[in-house]
Amino acid sequence: MSRGKVIRYFTIYGFFRTLVKVAGRSRNMFLRLFFIRLFWRRKANISLIGCGQFGFSTISYFLLKKNGNHFLECFDIDEEHQKTTADFWGYDPQHDATHLLNNLHCEYVYIASNHASHTDYAMQALQNGKAVYIEKPVSVNYDQFRSIFGLRRKLFLAGDKVFVGYNRPFSPAILKLNEFIRNSMLPVTLNCFVIGHFIEKDHWYRNPEEGTRICGNLGHWLDLSINLLNTRGKIPELYTISISYSNKDEIDDNISITMVTELNDLITIIITSRSEPFEGINESIQFQSGDTIAKIDDFRQMYLWKSSKKMKYRFNPKDVGHSNAINQPFNGMRRDFTEIEVSTVIMLEITDMVKKREILRVVEPFMIIDTQLSWFKKL
Ligand SMILES: NC(=O)c1ccc[n+]([C@@H]2O[C@H](COP(=O)([O-])OP(=O)(O)OC[C@H]3O[C@@H](n4cnc5c(N)ncnc54)[C@H](O)[C@@H]3O)[C@@H](O)[C@H]2O)c1
């Protein structure tokens, strides 16, 4: 990270979060001395699969910040990533994921590896009786969807042990907005303008098995949309989805997705990534439902109008909901899992659309879920 970027990040994310982002990139072991909670070890029961940027500087950081040092073991196919994460946070490095997943001391497994591997690791963790936190996306195709969502439904009565990394619904801005729209049963208009990271052509996100940027990035705002629709009282059953491609050779960058529903909701998501934004990902979200209007500026501030009343909220440091999302197993904040099932189906349908360069499709997610998971219902 350049010095200019570090200084800018301090103003956006605060001292420790910037420090850990620098540590994630440099893997400088000296910086661990700033995290004094690391030196007070508690019961070691949390293991990590995937020791890249997110596992290192977001998951491990927010776990330590809220719960202290419960780190047990970590695994990554990249030995250097694995070793530096282990050395920094105090995990015991494992050269085999199965060993980590079988460890009787492990109660929670956090998965932050490549997208195509999330479902398999999560299945193994659940089958071994662990609670599992799956970074987005949960699944990148319908085979994976059937396996993991089916297994979760089957195990649900034994206690819900699946947590997912879609964090926007846990941000203070969205939690505040929820208070004004809960069960209003009014149509929603939502616009998300997202300036995403510039991803090189050879980045692993673009490998064919990883599900495109629709699974890798766009899933966030699809999930946020379903969360807001559900909060206002009902998840719609029918979505007319249209896609505009700025360049048909770039099927998952610089595109616009529009969804209208049978409840007269109107949602547009634009993802643009024509160069790397200096301050990282940047989001403008505008919302209207009844007499509630919200403008969220990059999760750093929000203007909210309720009829004639105008409110302004500042979020300093910027808070996209990572802390709350990552600590779901411990803070009692739970998502309605139907939202995750529906948003995943819509994400998979849009992934299929972009692969086929389609511009229009009508999607009925509940029918798809019923069909995909019917085998498990018979169990
Ligand atoms: N919620 C968010 O806002 C957010 C933000 C960034 C990344 N993420 C998610 O976090 C996850 C990791 O992303 P990242 O930015 O850290 O990427 P990264 O490339 O920095 O790290 C990925 C790591 O996974 C490892 N890996 C690859 N295949 C593996 C396998 N089969 N088993 C074990 N390890 C494997 C790689 O060696 C690498 O260390 C992804 O799912 C990504 O979508 C979430």
pLDDT tens for the chain, residues 1 to 379: 889 999 999 999 999 999 999 999 999 999 999 999 999 999 999 999 999 999 999 999 999 999 999 999 999 999 999 999 999 999 999 999 999 999 999 999 999 999 999 999 999 999 999 999 999 999 999 999 999 999 999 887 667 899 999 999 999 999 999 999 999 999 999 999 999 999 999 999 999 999 999 999 999 999 999 999 999 999 999 999 999 999 989 999 999 999 999 999 999 999 999 999 999 999 999 999 999 999 999 999 999 999 999 999 999 999 999 999 999 999 999 999 999 999 999 999 999 999 999 999 999 999 999 999 987 655 5
Q: Which residue carries 């936190």 as its tokens?
A: 133
CB 315: neighbour CB atoms within 10 A? 18
pLDDT in the model for residue 102:
97
CA distance 97 to 132: 14
CA distance 281 to 176: 22
Pocket probe mutation, ligand 1, options 114, 210, 214, 343, max atoms within 8 Å of Cβ: 114
Closest ligand 1 atom to the C-alpha of 217?
43
H/E run at residue 364:
none
Question: What is the CA(118)–ligand 1 centre distance, in A?
Answer: 10
Which tokens in the block code for residue 67?
């719960």
Closest ligand 1 atom to the C-alpha of 117?
31
Pick the residue whose CA is nearest to atom 18 on ligand 1.
52
Pocket probe mutation, ligand 1, options 26, 27, 53, 220, max atoms within 8 Å of Cβ: 53
Closest ligand 1 atom to the C-alpha of 325?
1
CB 91: neighbour CB atoms within 10 A? 24
Nearest to 12 by CA among 349, 281, 252, 269: 281
Question: What is the CA(277)–ligand 1 centre distance, in A?
Answer: 20
Nearest to 115 by CA among 195, 23, 219: 219
Pocket probe mutation, ligand 1, options 57, 76, 221, max atoms within 8 Å of Cβ: 76
pLDDT in the model for residue 157:
64
Question: What is the CA(286)–ligand 1 centre distance, in A?
Answer: 29
CA distance 170 to 231: 13
Pocket probe mutation, ligand 1, options 17, 54, 77, 318, max atoms within 8 Å of Cβ: 54
Furthest CA-CA distance within the chain: 60
- Tell me which residues have their CB closer than 6 angstroms to ligand 1: 49-55, 75-78, 81, 112-115, 117, 135-136, 165, 167, 216
Backbone angles phi, psi at 149, to 5 degrees: -70, -35
Question: What is the CA(78)–ligand 1 centre distance, in A?
Answer: 11
pLDDT in the model for residue 377:
58
pTM for the model stands at: 0.97
Which tokens in the block code for residue 96?
């085999």
Half-sphere exposure of 201 (CA within 13 A, CB side): 2
Closest ligand 1 atom to the C-alpha of 167?
1
Pick the residue whose CA is nearest to atom 39 on ligand 1.
52
Nearest to 118 by CA among 99, 93, 143, 81: 143
- H helices present in 244-326, as ranges: 322-326
Which tokens in the block code for residue 185?
């049963």
Question: What is the CA(184)–ligand 1 centre distance, in A?
Answer: 38
Half-sphere exposure of 329 (CA within 13 A, CB side): 22
